[in-house]
Amino acid sequence: MNRPWTLAGSVAGAVVVALDGTVLTVAQPRLQRELHASFAEVQWTSTAYLVAVASLLVFAGRLGDRYGQRRVFGLGMLGFGAASAAVALAPGVGWVIGLRAVQGVFGALLQPATLGMLRAAYPPDRLASPLAVRTAAIGLAAAAGPLLGGALVTGLGWRAVFLVNVPAALAFGLPALLRPGRRPAPARAPLDLPGAVLLAVTLACLVYALTARPVSGAGLAVAVLTAAILVRHERRTASPLLPPEVIGSRSAGAALGILVAVSASLFGTLFLATYVLQRHLGLDPFDSALCSLPLAVLMVASAALSPALLRRYGARATTAGATAALTLGVLLPARTTSLPGLGCGFALLGAGFGTVMVAATQVIVRRAEVTTAGVAGGLQQTALNIGPAMGVAAAAALLGAGTGPALLALAAVAALALPAARALPGPAAAEPDPHIPDEPVPAGAPARR
């Protein structure tokens, strides 16, 4: 597999998705005015995408393992670009919501494949560097998105932001489909379609419940019920959607939990920071974005340094130190509302999250065989969709008590990742073979999380 093209494609896919979310946030007020949409309808332009993408990520990863990561990546890129272009032409908000759901389906195909392709192209001990490049690119997209979106909306209107992704989708999607590479050996076991449906319903209901205002109790109840049925089904089926060698790894399970905790804390803090910057300090959205730039800058810098840290200290110490920095970054806005203090807080958030992203993702993807790398990538992406939804829901629920108590609660959530980091591997010299399960799962027994 062509490593430079694979890395470029993985980066392009991650950036396309990251840009899509950030530019949409800037475009929504103009979209609401021009399409005469209600506030609830505008919220659904985000929720429809989130529900679709989160519910299908793991199954899409399994499709990549079965039919080829590059082939699924190409289909996801082209579909994502086509749906994005269709949104730009939508005559009404109902069309926007429906097409955003379609975009989420193709986004689900695209995202796990960006990690699965890297796992297929790079040996396990060299994964940290391409993952660092990918994470740094996401940080740059997060910084550029609001500025690019603001310029496009101001100069060309809200529809222009949905055309940004089309050139990259064509540039990388077409070559991936025209030259999909060697197809994996035919799988003997059938696809676990019942498991895929149960997982999709569970995650869709969970994301919907968390993004609803107020949080939907009925959605949470359905998610718990279908999750219980899913666990029972996965224990009994001969070809589970979630292979025991993926979810049975103690270190991979810990890494997934860490990603949920730190992303929940980060995005909940960013939600609260908007109130501090715009309501307490009276900054406009552009000045607020400038104030938060240290987050993106340090995320890029920390991602670049992460491979060296992982080689020297291992995932365990690197993740623990980064989580401590992120926790301190959450606590700073609770103690001070001065711009220098908030800037330091944003810098710590970026440094902590960028490092954790590289370290935890490396653990998850490295421990997976090439034949299950798509599922591993799907689980990683699912964690990064569920965590932010949980964090924003918690921040919104606690906002009535004041930003101080809410930030303390979010810091406690981030701190939960510290004991989990003990399950991660140490320095390279002390690491076991990543393809020997650290806690084998007996046949017929439930996999430990």
CATH number of the domain within which 355 lies: 1.20.1250.20
Please tell me whether residues 306 and 347 are part of one structural domain.
yes
pLDDT given for residue 446 in this prediction: 39
**Residue 82, both tokens:** 């086509």
For residues 217 and 356, state if they share a domain: no
Sign of torsion, CA 300 302 307 310? negative
Neighbours of 216 (CB within 10 A): 17
Splitting the chain (449 residues) into consecutive groups of 10 residues, what average pLDDT does each group show? 86 90 80 86 86 92 89 94 93 92 94 91 87 90 80 85 90 87 64 90 89 84 94 88 82 92 91 76 72 87 92 92 94 81 89 93 87 89 89 83 86 93 76 47 39
- What does the alpha-carbon distance between residue 303 and residue 142 come to, in Å, rounded to a whole number? 14
Reported pTM: 0.85
Domain with 207 in it: 192-238
186 SS3 class: coil
pLDDT of residue 428: 61
Q: CA-CA distance, 255 to 422, in Å (whole number)? A: 10
Is the domain of 231 the same as that of 250? Answer: no
Per-residue model confidence (pLDDT) at position 309:
92
Same domain, yes or no: 140 and 206? no
Say if residue 23 is in the same domain as residue 165.
Answer: yes
What does the block give as tokens for 327?
């926790």
Give the pLDDT score at 186: 61
Distance CA 342, CA 133 (A): 27
- CA-based max dimension of the chain: 62
231, 368: one domain: no
- Closest by alpha carbon to 63, among 14, 116, 10? 116
Compute, in degrees rounded to 10, the torsion defined by CA atoms 113, 116, 117, 121: 180
Report which of 53, 393, 385, 100 is spatially closest to residue 219, judged by C-alpha positions.
Answer: 393
- In a domain? residue 121: yes
Spatial distance between the Cα atoms of 409 and 359, rounded to a whole number of angstroms: 24
